[in-house]
Amino acid sequence: MLAQRISRLTSSLVRDILAAASQPDVISFAGGLPAEDALFVPDAAGLAPERLRAALQYGPSEGELRLRELVAQQLNSLGLSCGPQQVLILNGSQQGIDLMAKLLIEPGRRVLVEAPAYLAALQAFRLFGAELDGWSRVEGISAEAKMKEGLQADTCMTYLTPTFQNPSGACYSAAERRGMAAVLDAHPGIVFEDDPYRDLAYDGPAPAPLVSHLRAARWVYQGSFSKILAPGLRLGFLVAHPELFPHLLRLKQAADLHSNRLSQLLVTQVLEDGLLAGHLARILPDYRARRDVMAASLDRHLGGLASWTLPAGGLFFWVKLAQPLDSQSLMQRMLRDERVAIMPGSAFFAQPADAAYLRLNFSHASPERIAEGLARLGRVLRSQRTAS
């Protein structure tokens, strides 16, 4: 009696890991949670009853006009030319993935994704019946050439996280973005750029959004306030090509009428009062320090056992194990015996990967616990090498 799509709801592995990782004695590298100290605590004065009143009645499905204007301003300053009438406020950017799946996917439709790619996007696309094709960067071949190989004539959507990707941490250069945009302009599919990590840049600002280089392809771009302010607010946004916007707006209305107005009020005030830059200036040094502690700990404890690249932004190290271990078994052993939560890389691939990977988050655990957790991981990996 249930719809066919329910059989495609994937296992609750990730939910189980995250539940286990929230136990206080567990050192968690598993989630993508901001540090507690990095959460933006709204000013209660901004929530005085006379201001709250405006947020209590039903609101527009598009979102609050002033917030849409502020988002559009910000995007234009990044080089993405758009107007506020193209901005749709979301209940977190996960909702943008759901709306895009509804817009484009039906059983058997092909979606091109990076390998690896954001897990919850793969799950949502699969739920609607997509056939996922993955493509990977390969040393010595351009990203655009590899991506082009993955595009089929009937690919309906190309989903990309070009900036400090979850899980890989990778960020395409401006030249790569231009090359990829040219390939996508020559294809009828729709381009969906997911960009929640842009502002978490530790070594200089990220290049302009990939979709800003498109000339012909229709596109949707989305961002989130979860990683830079507070995920509990559940607030994100998308900007859509004018042909796509009216459909996405109606899908949003059918999904939940409109986004929470309290959160919209709060975030509007933060942006209006220019508080975001100061908040970022406060949290970025701490995140950079944690990243560097993780890099040093990886060097110290996983040298020879794995390889990785220093991420220039975002929240994750993507670690390739030298030995072809089963990353899910390793995750289970680490959690059970060592009280360290890691995220197995296999969950991030549309097709089985060429090697074993782990995704390690550095924003949530304290520097001391990062060092301790990686010491335990190194010990287990060394013991497994000896055992095999």
User: 31: left (phi > 0), else alpha (psi -120 to 50), else beta?
Assistant: beta
Q: Cα separation of 325 and 331, whole Å?
A: 11
Residue 326, number of CB atoms within 10 A of its CB:
12
Query: Least distance (Å) from a second copy to the CB of residue 260?
Result: 4
193's enclosing H/E stretch is strand 190-194
Q: From CA 367, how far away is CA 292, in angstroms rounded? A: 9
Which is it for the CA torsion 369, 374, 375, 376, positive or negative? positive
Nearest approach, Cβ of residue 121 and a second copy (Å): 10
Q: How far is the CB of 330 from a second copy (least distance, A)?
A: 24
Q: Distance (Å, rounded) from C-alpha 285 to C-alpha 370?
A: 16
Residue 231 makes contact with a second copy by CB under 8 A:
yes
Q: Which of residues 119-178 bind a second copy (CB under 8 A)?
A: 120, 123-124, 127, 156
Sole binder of a second copy in the list 17, 28, 34, 318 (CB under 8 A): 34
CB nearer a second copy, residue 233 or residue 302? 233
Binding piece for a second copy, criterion CB under 8 A, among 117-125, 191-199, 297-305, 340-348? 117-125
Torsion from C-alpha of 15, 18, 19, 20, nearest 10 degrees: 120
47-55, 176-184, 206-214, 327-335 -> range binding a second copy (CB under 8 A): 47-55
| Residue 262 vs 296, nearer CB to a second copy | 262
Output the six-digit token pair for 19: 């539940």
CB of 57 to a second copy, least distance (A): 6
The contact mask relative to a second copy for 171-210 (x = CB under 8 A, - = no) is: -----------------xxx--------------------
3-state SS, residue 365? coil
> Minimum CB separation from a second copy for residue 129, in Å?
10
DSSP state letters, 116-163: S--HHHHHHHHHTTPEEEEE---TTS-HHHHHHHH--TTEEEEEE--S
According to DSSP H, which parts of the chain are helical? 13-21, 49-52, 65-78, 93-104, 119-127, 143-150, 174-185, 245-256, 261-272, 275-302, 327-333, 367-387
Min. distance of Cβ 100 from a second copy in angstroms? 10
- Contact positions with a second copy (CB under 8 A) in 70-99: 90-92, 94-95, 98
Contact 86, 72 (CB under 8 A): yes
The window from 2-10, 69-77, 166-174, 286-294 that contacts a second copy (CB under 8 A) reads: 2-10
What's the CA gap between 128 and 367, in Å, rounded? 40
Which is closer to a second copy, CB of 57 or CB of 77?
Answer: 57
Is the Cβ–Cβ distance between 262 and 52 less than 8 Å?
yes
Residue closer to a second copy by CB (options 111, 342) is: 111
215 binds a second copy (CB under 8 A): no
Interface region with a second copy, contact rule CB under 8 A, candidates 144-152, 195-203, 232-240, 368-376: 232-240
Among 30, 71, 89, 104, binds a second copy (CB under 8 A): 104
CB of 293 to a second copy, least distance (A): 21
Dihedral sign for Cα 176, 124, 9, 17, please: positive
CB 151 within 8 A of CB 189: yes
Q: Pick from 20, 262, 284, 296: which binds a second copy (CB under 8 A)?
A: 262
Cβ-based nearer residue to a second copy, 176 or 195: 195
Please select the residue that binds a second copy; options are 230, 276, 341, 347, rule is CB under 8 A: 230
Closest to a second copy by CB, 41 or 387 = 41
**Residue 242 Cβ, how far from a second copy at the closest point, in Å?**
14
Tell me which of 174, 186, 216, 257 binds a second copy, using CB under 8 A.
257
In contact, 238 and 194? CB cutoff 8 Å? no
Asked if 359 touches a second copy (CB under 8 A), the answer is no
- Cβ at position 187, least distance to a second copy in Å: 11
CA atoms within 13 A on the CB side of 236: 25
Does the protein bind a second copy through residue 3 (CB under 8 A)? yes
Measure the CA–CA gap between 109 and 98, rounded to whole angstroms: 15
Number of residues that bind a second copy (CB under 8 A): 71
